[in-house]
């Protein structure tokens, strides 16, 4: 379980393709404090640590990415040197600064517009039609692992404002129109929709 509050920007150091994709990610998290089997959200996708260590002054961890995850996320376009948003799993007693995020990505959204509004940047995204009904004005959404508030919704597009602090401590400062980003809809919206569908029978 996560909160959508990014705490590090990792860097992809190595990619090894076999039956699955194995990625090595440099991190500011001390490697000796990362348990094998721990969950780390990588651009919003909950991945399991299978190895960790230190190379010179750089700490790193390895994750294994299944074909299912590659098909549902943007992880398949990772390349060497790519910077990614990281968040350690929530611990009991931690501050819940964003919203409840599972790390189970629902699909991929596309950045279709960006414009500055004061010091912030207004991003507009297009989502798959199947996910559009789960996004509501003033609701929460996780994009590349970042908890954000939805400003407006029109059909399968919606907008969010990203403040300078968020751009500085996440990958949003490097975002461009056309980027594909991981989206996780709000858990509450998911269950409300499920209850509605069940009630309608």
Does residue 173 share a domain with residue 142? yes
The answer to whether position 96 is within a domain reads no
Dihedral over Cα of 76, 97, 160, 187: its sign = positive
Tell me the mean pLDDT in the region 176-182: 98
Does residue 185 share a domain with residue 112? yes
Write out the DSSP string of 2-18: B-S---EEEEEEEEEES
Q: Report the pLDDT value the prediction gives residue 1, as an integer from 0 to 100.
A: 86
Q: CA-CA distances (angstroms) from residue 138 to 45, 100, 122, 148, 187?
A: 23, 15, 14, 9, 15
Tell me the mean pLDDT in the region 56-77: 94
Q: Which two tokens stand for residue 122?
A: 């207004």
- Domain encompassing residue 47: 8-88
Write out the DSSP string of 68-81: HHHHHSSGGG--TT
The answer to whether position 120 is within a domain reads yes
What are 116-171's pLDDT values in tens digits?
A: 999 999 999 999 999 999 999 999 999 999 999 999 999 999 999 999 999 999 99
Does residue 69 share a domain with residue 114? no
What backbone phi and psi angles, to 5 degrees, belong to 163? -80, 165
Examine the pLDDT at 194 and tell me if it is beyond 70.
Answer: no
The answer to whether position 2 is within a domain reads no
Q: How many CB atoms neighbour CB 195 within 10 A?
A: 10
Does residue 73 share a domain with residue 31? yes
The answer to whether position 114 is within a domain reads yes
Q: Report the pLDDT value the prediction gives residue 198, as an integer from 0 to 100.
A: 74
Give me the CATH number covering residue 19: 2.40.30.20
Tell me the mean pLDDT in the region 25-43: 97
Structural domains counted in the chain: 2
Does residue 131 share a domain with residue 61? no
Tell me the mean pLDDT in the region 83-100: 84
């Amino acid at each position: 379980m996560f909160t959508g509050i990014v705490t590090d920007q990792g860097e992809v150091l190595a990619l090894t393709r076999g039956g699955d994709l194995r990625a090595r990610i440099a991190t500011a998290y001390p490697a000796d404090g990362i348990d094998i089997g721990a969950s780390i959200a990588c651009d919003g996708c909950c991945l399991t640590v299978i190895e960790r260590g230190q190379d010179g002054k750089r700490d790193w961890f390895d994750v294994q990415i299944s074909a299912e995850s590659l098909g549902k996320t943007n992880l398949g376009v990772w390349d060497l040197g790519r910077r990614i948003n990281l968040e350690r799993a929530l611990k009991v007693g931690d501050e819940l600064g964003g919203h409840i995020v599972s790390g189970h990505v629902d699909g991929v959204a596309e950045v279709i517009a960006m414009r500055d509004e004061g010091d912030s940047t207004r991003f507009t995204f297009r989502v798959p039609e199947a996910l559009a009904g789960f996004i509501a004005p003033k609701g929460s959404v996780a994009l590349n692992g970042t908890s954000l508030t939805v400003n407006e919704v029109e059909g399968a597009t919606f907008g969010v404002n990203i403040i300078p602090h968020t751009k500085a401590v996440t990958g949003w400062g490097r975002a461009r129109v056309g980027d594909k980003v991981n989206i996780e809809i709000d858990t509450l919206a998911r269950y409300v929709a499920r209850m509605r569908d069940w009630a309608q029978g």
